[in-house]
A and B are shown apart, each in its own frame.
Chain A
Amino acid sequence: DIVMTQSPSSLAVSAGETVTINCKSSQSLFGSVRQKNYLAWYQQKPGQSPKLLIYLASTRESGVPDRFIGSGSGTDFTLTISSVQAEDLANYYCQQYYDTPYTFGAGTKLELK
């Protein structure tokens, strides 16, 4: 199975800051056929279902604010949230779908400082 390692596990921020969440996979997620990285990012607020933010490592889902930016390739990926707002406080998960079983990172909890 592909292991997804997220860091940090938690992050305390002030509104307006820029934050970076890292996700590392145990093998490359780059698909040679489609020339894309098979990685997604989700946001989960307390008591809610996860919400898709980013797929194919850097494609923002429709309706997701442009302050959410996905980047990276191969085994190292990053979710950057610029100018964090109070509504962004949540848990964030990366997920690989390069190979089954698809696997999630353990999550990063974004908290208010």
Chain B
Amino acid sequence: GQSLEQPSEVTAVEGAIVQINCTYQTSGFYGLSWYQQHDGGAPTFLSYNGLDGLEETGRFSSFLSRSDSYGYLLLQELQMKDSASYFCAVYASNYQLIWGAGTKLIIKP
């Protein structure tokens, strides 16, 4: 089967750094995406890794190691508005995006 594993919940303090890990097992691999979803809202795209290494976009960075079937999302200088669920998703084919169950990020003042 195809599966993605990510922690169900992570807690961090405002201003701190947090890392959300994702391991995957899929029949094919084209790339790893990260999406943010606030409660009751729609997912919004954060980043994409097609090749190994680190991608940086402002306070957010994403890393991929294809040999380890592993990636992570790094959020720096946490703000209260970053409280949301974060999903990793793998392109297992040119149309099929397989989603993890999501990590709920709780930020404390």
Decide if A and B are genuine partners. no
Q: Which residues of B contact A (CB under 8 A)?
A: none
Interface residues of A (CB under 8 A from B): none
